[in-house]
Amino acid sequence: MSQMSPLARQVLASVFIGLTLSCMMVTLAYAAVAVPQMSLPDSPINFTPDEASWFATIPLLISIPGALVGGMMCEWLGPRRLLLLLSPLLCASFVLMRVAVWEVVVQAGLAEVLLLSCRVVQGTMVALMNPTVYMYTYEMTDARIRGAMTGLTDLWTAFGFLLCYLFGCFYSWEVIAWLVPLLTGVPSFIGLLFTPESPMWLVRKGKEQEALTTLMKYRCSTEEVIEEVKAATKTSNKDVSFVRSLQEVVKKPNLLGMVASALLLVMKEMSGNSGVNTYIVHIFQFAGVGLDPNWSSVVVGSVRFLFNGLCAFLIYNVPRRIALASGAVISAIAATSLGIFFFLQSIEYDVSYLGWVPLASLVFYIIGYAGALGPFCWLTSVEVLPGPVRSIGCGTTNAVYSAVAFLISKSFPDMQAAVGLHGIFWFYASSSIFILVIVLVFVPETYGMSMKDVERYWENVSASKKEKEKCESAKVDEPVPIVMVKY
């Protein structure tokens, strides 16, 4: 890497992080292909419907507390060091799942227990790592490509899902359990061995000289390096403790940024992402028309991958709020049409000539999500976080996001029984529309804003409200001459 340009170093570091993220996302996509195979009559795995539901969703449940701990561990150990520590454990938990089909394990009745235990470990590792991958990418890249590289994290997410869906057409679940991590987790671990620690984390720890050395290799100009170190130093705490971090969180400007970040991620999940990802094969099986369910999932996964890649280029030129609004509208229309299809099916209307609707609707849903809503939500949720709370903010907002993702996924079978698939997709559509309200009312336009600009924005929002309160109080208690009022 010594002969590479600064830009090439940044891109290569993002690739290693992306492969790590792909391995993590296999944890969520895996259930979509594994559970249908485990439910076959000749399968040695005998999950009850409730156990199968937990197998699919338990990583999301563990992500709720895990993401909070992950944000703190990231600030304590450093993003790169944390990833190097946890990624081998994630890969090992996948490989161990193959043991569940050994005859001695099956005969002992331990296969289901082993599989659920592995899912607990996978969920824990993903929860601890998830805040780190986004923060490391954001802090390792300069302003010119930061948006694209952060946006590409969703492309790597789609890559993990696509690998899982594609291998599900050819291989058994126990083969996929070791094959996909081998292609993603191992290369990413080797690559991270040769990348440096986050320079912004080093500054926050008072290691300015080490941060300068890293930035000189990863930035194109000395002036840019000096400016970044100065900006990071102003908002850094050299003695960061848990209590000190909480003190930063309760400051109103920082708290407003965290609320905006959490709202984006919450509504993103309520628009149906986790439910569709976890039950995509089941959705196509229930529709009973069109292509084979596994190959239909591959088509949707391919579209997601394609539009995630396209979105990385849009991030350069499209304002965040416009992209979020566009993606929300497209996803809402697609979810509504899919809801109409399942409603007609529920009233025993002949839908045989509408066999194209489920696939077409999910493709357009994914276009809206992968082409705008998903990547821009993740990017904006990081961009709106002020520097002093970026680590703990990523962990906190990811915990809230994970709680909603778990509820959306775990409740999918119950919601289907209560309101039908049409009710589920109409709920997703209404949630997508609600994102418009959040974007227009609360979330700032972060396109073109630096980290310092974001912090100043929340300070101004907080200060302006205080000024209004003071002015109102002054009007009641004592008249103030016009010449003394400052605007």
Asked, for residue 487, whether it belongs to a domain, the answer is no
User: What pLDDT is recorded for position 244?
Assistant: 59
Asked, for residue 480, whether it belongs to a domain, the answer is no
- The C-alpha angle 449, 451, 457, rounded to 5 degrees, equals 65
Asked, for residue 477, whether it belongs to a domain, the answer is no
* Domain harbouring 348, CATH code: 1.20.1250.20
User: What pLDDT is recorded for position 186?
Assistant: 92
Asked, for residue 229, whether it belongs to a domain, the answer is no
Asked, for residue 486, whether it belongs to a domain, the answer is no
What percent of the residues of the chain are helix, what percent strand, and what percent coil, each to the nearest 5?
85, 0, 15
pLDDT digits (tens, 9 = 90+) for 363-378: 999 899 888 888 888 7
- The count of structural domains within the chain is 1
Asked, for residue 215, whether it belongs to a domain, the answer is no
Domain that holds residue 114: 7-195+251-463
Give the max Cα distance, the chain.
Answer: 88
User: What pLDDT is recorded for position 371?
Assistant: 84
Asked, for residue 472, whether it belongs to a domain, the answer is no
User: What pLDDT is recorded for position 75?
Assistant: 79
Could you give the dihedral angle defined by the CA atoms of residues 328, 332, 338 and 344, in that order, rounded to the nearest 10 degrees?
180
This model's pTM is above 0.85: no
Using DSSP's 3-state secondary structure scheme, residue 260 falls into helix
Flag residues of the chain having pLDDT under 70: 1-3, 67-68, 146-148, 150-151, 220-250, 289-291, 387-391, 395, 464-487
Could you give the dihedral angle defined by the CA atoms of residues 379, 385, 386 and 387, in that order, rounded to the nearest 10 degrees?
-60
CB count in 10 Å sphere of residue 472: 10
User: What pLDDT is recorded for position 83?
Assistant: 92
Asked, for residue 44, whether it belongs to a domain, the answer is yes
